Structure 1
Amino acid sequence: MTVLREIANGVHVLRHPVLDVNATLVVGGEAALVVDTLSSARQAEDLLAAVRRVTGLPLVVVNTHHHFDHVFGNVMFAGAAIWAHEEAAALVGPALRERAVLAFPDLADELACTTPTPATELVRSAAEVELGDRTVQLRHFGRGHSIGDLVAIVPDADLLIAGDLVEQSGPPQFDDAYPLDWPDTVAGLLALLTADSQVVPGHGAVTDRRFVRAQHEQLADLAWLIREGDADGAPAERVAAKSAFPQEIALPAVRRGYLHLNQP
């Protein structure tokens, strides 16, 4: 049985075994917020059942970004307002499902039965979701893991839901990322965190400011290597080998960085 774990007053997290992705429930006095809806309708059905074991309140949904493992469960939340950054919402559709099937063939059957459902409420830079006796702030600090990263801040719980801007169970992923922008975006998150803050990453265990700061340093070092390598005309492979991240992770980041630096 899928179970949500309470990590703060009225804040519950499901760490799903498929892709180790997190979904978060924030319960207010009049409504409850679900942040990210997992990879498929089947997974989201279990998530929704777990949510309903905690609360019967009307639901609101937030997508932290457009990647399928965070949004394809949207279809199970019919009638709920779904919030996302405007760039993220525009990328949720059949083409995204096709790419997901190619990348994760083991999930092909689940994905075939899932209708990609984009957000209905669009955020450009900031918005607030009222849950009755608590307000959740939605903020876009810039590009990073994707073009449309959105974080959810629960001030009364000193908690931030970071999506894949922060990765705990593995290194950051750069396939369609913005490695030169990512450090500044995470710096915006750090400015909000206290020594006692909890941070829900996109994947892995709930973490804290110290972890986010360490990952920010790694991202900043990589961005510096990319800029230096581009200026020197160094091969991407040589630059990636200098990174703190594994070669197979850093190489796509360097190539993306080179691409962005040399765009007209």
Structure 2
Amino acid sequence: MSWTEVADGVFARRYDELDLTTGLVLGQDRCLVIDTRGDVDQGAEFAAAVRELTELPWSVVYTHAHFDHAFGTTPFLPCDIWAHPGCLRALLKNGETDKQKWAAHYREEGKPEIAEAIERTGLMPPDRLVPDRAELDLGGRTVALVHPGPAHTDHDLVVHVPDAKVVFAGDVVEHGPHGFTAYSFGPDDQLDAWARAMEALLALEPRIVVPGHGDQVDEAFVRTHRDGLLRLHELKTARASLEDALRDSPYPEDVTRAALGFS
């Protein structure tokens, strides 16, 4: 794990566990923490790491409701927590079930300490909701929270730091070995809508895009995978056979199967 200053006063912190990337934006009066990791212990480590850089009061934003991005918040309290309304709905509906699922997953992986930490974790629903767009004044720096449309979830938020030309994309953008991984996709994903969300991100004209997983990327990377999503959408719409899809997809077999719903 390490901090990378991607622009003046704008930091990304990348973790070995799930190759997760979190963020921090500093203003003169406040700072903004982007995602909080996956359990109370991981959140405590991240909060301590933030305090190595700044003593400014903080706000938290969830890019989306998945456990690895939004379950580590209790060590940051008290704070305001920003998210899309759909994130609140997802946490209230699925949060406790997700805790059980991921605790079981880590026990099966032979990581009982993470499983136990997840079980001890209290979920913190957001209290500042952003249906479309909101601007946060951090003191000498304004940060925009933008819902680009449905993408990885129906409630993604990206964090735009205009003066630094940086966008924290959450899982709207991932930087796996092939851009996406098989875990990027769910059964209800609308691939064309996800491509449009990437287009909305590109309209912010970022110089640097920080994905929810992996190292920072540029606009060209986002364009490539916007086009890849559109190609997957074409194959899905055409009801391509698995053989044809694997031949024509720009992605490897595991990603193509997951994106197109082949078991």
TM-score normalised over the length of structure 1: 0.88
* Structure 1 position 247 matched with structure 2 position 253: yes
Letter in 2 for 1:174: F
Letter in 1 for 2:70: V
* Structure 1 position 112 matched with structure 2 position 124: no
1:186 to 193, 198, 206: 198
In structure 2, the residue matched to 1:128 is 135
Query: 1:137-171 CA deviation, whole Å, 9 max, x = no partner?
Result: 01111111111110000001010000011111344
Give the drift of 1:253.
Answer: 2.0
- Aligned mates of 2:48, 2:23 — CA distance in 1: 14
Give the drift of 1:82.
Answer: 0.6
- Aligned mates of 2:130, 2:98 — CA distance in 1: 20
* Structure 1 position 100 matched with structure 2 position 102: yes
Report if aligned partners of 1:239, 1:254 keep a CA contact under 8 Å in 2. no
In structure 1, the residue matched to 2:226 is 216
Report if aligned partners of 2:209, 2:219 keep a CA contact under 8 Å in 1. yes
Letter in 1 for 2:103: V
Q: Residue 138 of structure 1 aligns to a residue in which SS? A: strand
Letter in 2 for 1:245: Y
- Aligned mates of 1:41, 1:239 — CA distance in 2: 45
Report if aligned partners of 1:97, 1:116 keep a CA contact under 8 Å in 2. no
Report if aligned partners of 1:15, 1:204 keep a CA contact under 8 Å in 2. yes
Give the drift of 1:224.
Answer: 1.2
Q: Residue 64 of structure 1 aligns to a residue in which SS? A: coil
Report if aligned partners of 1:4, 1:51 keep a CA contact under 8 Å in 2. no
Query: 1:95-152 CA deviation, whole Å, 9 max, x = no partner?
Result: 2212323444333122112112221111111111110111110111111111111000
Give the drift of 1:3.
Answer: 4.1
- Aligned mates of 1:7, 1:214 — CA distance in 2: 22
Q: Which is further off, 109-118 or 21-30? A: 109-118
In structure 1, the residue matched to 2:160 is 153
Q: Residue 78 of structure 2 aligns to a residue in which SS? A: coil
Letter in 1 for 2:141: R
Report if aligned partners of 1:226, 1:239 keep a CA contact under 8 Å in 2. no
In structure 2, the residue matched to 1:163 is 170
Percent identity of equivalent pairs? 36
Give the drift of 1:217.
Answer: 1.1
Query: 1:172-214 CA deviation, whole Å, 9 max, x = no partner?
Result: 31025332311111111112225xx011001111111111111
Return 5+ residue gaps in structure 1 as ranges.
257-264
Give the drift of 1:39.
Answer: 1.1
- Aligned mates of 1:120, 1:157 — CA distance in 2: 27
- Aligned mates of 2:244, 2:151 — CA distance in 1: 20
TM-score normalised over the length of structure 2: 0.89
Report if aligned partners of 1:74, 1:116 keep a CA contact under 8 Å in 2. yes
Report if aligned partners of 1:26, 1:34 keep a CA contact under 8 Å in 2. yes
Letter in 2 for 1:254: L
In structure 2, the residue matched to 1:72 is 71
Give the drift of 1:239.
Answer: 5.5
Q: Judging changes above 3 Å, is the alpha-carbon distance between structure 1 residues 101 and 179 closer, same or farther for their aligned structure 2 residues?
A: farther
Report if aligned partners of 1:3, 1:50 keep a CA contact under 8 Å in 2. no
Query: 1:229-263 CA deviation, whole Å, 9 max, x = no partner?
Result: 1xxxx45x34642322222222232129xxxxxxx
Report if aligned partners of 2:100, 2:119 keep a CA contact under 8 Å in 1. no
In structure 1, the residue matched to 2:186 is 175
Return 5+ residue gaps in structure 2 as ranges.
none
Aligned-pair Cα RMSD in Å: 1.7
